[in-house]
A = this chain, B = another copy of it.
Amino acid sequence: VTRNAPARETAPTGVAAADAHAELAADSRITAMGLVSEVYNGLVAKTLPQLAEHGVAPAEFEVLLRLSRSAGGRLRMSDLAAQTSLTSSGITRLVDRLERGGLLRRTACPSDRRGLFAELTDTGWERIEAVVPGHVELIDQWLIGLLEPGEREQFLATLRKLRDIVRPGATAGAAGPTDAAAHG
């Protein structure tokens, strides 16, 4: 796309010039990315108030959830960092807050003294149990329940495919790609 309207600054010609350039950004692939973003952010916005009622921020909820799905209700700091979208520094601070709130505690890792576990406390388990039912209801209302069974399965299959390619390290700390080890 070449720029051939040097006098865009003047008001009357501005709109026409903008139209010429808009083609670039109107690319359908950018729109697709925008859809993913809007759906994700929209869903977060829908679930935010219910989490807030329980005093839990979305990132905190994700950490609590990952811990609750792991053997012993605990995971190493570095594994939490790998599984979430936070850096190891961010995990340190988030775990600080949750520990301050009594939802988890740090425990030593016997096999490697550099490592630390974040481990759910009884209070942490109770909090998860208190939050999850309402949370599931909202996901049902704004995501799952809006799709026909066939459409839903196709949608989830595509998401899984994309996730596996785009986020290879998402299962660090678990023995297998589907948490199968937690049942052994």
Contact = CB atoms under 8 A, between A and B. Distances in A.
Interface of A: 1, 3, 8-9, 14-15, 17-19, 21-22, 24-27, 29-30, 32-43, 45-47, 62, 65, 68-74, 85, 120, 122, 125-126, 128-129, 132, 135-136, 139-140, 142-144, 146-147, 151, 154-156, 158-163, 165-167, 170, 179, 182-183
Contact of A166 (B3, B136, B142, B162): B142
Nearest to A160: B35
Contacts of A140: 29
B46 A166 contact: yes
17 contacts: A14-B74, A18-B120, A21-B125, A26-B179, A27-B132, A27-B136, A29-B136, A29-B144, A30-B65, A32-B159, A38-B167, A42-B162, A46-B166, A151-B154, A154-B154, A154-B158, A155-B155
Chain copies in complex: 2
B3 A183 contact: no
Given A14-B72, A35-B159, 7 more contacts: A25-B69, A26-B179, A30-B65, A33-B47, A39-B162, A39-B163, A45-B167
A135 to B, nearest CB: 7
B42 A167 contact: yes
Interface residue SS majority, chain A: helix
Given A19-B183, A25-B65, A40-B37, A143 B162 contact: yes
B40 A36 contact: yes
A59 to B, nearest CB: 10
B129 A21 contact: yes
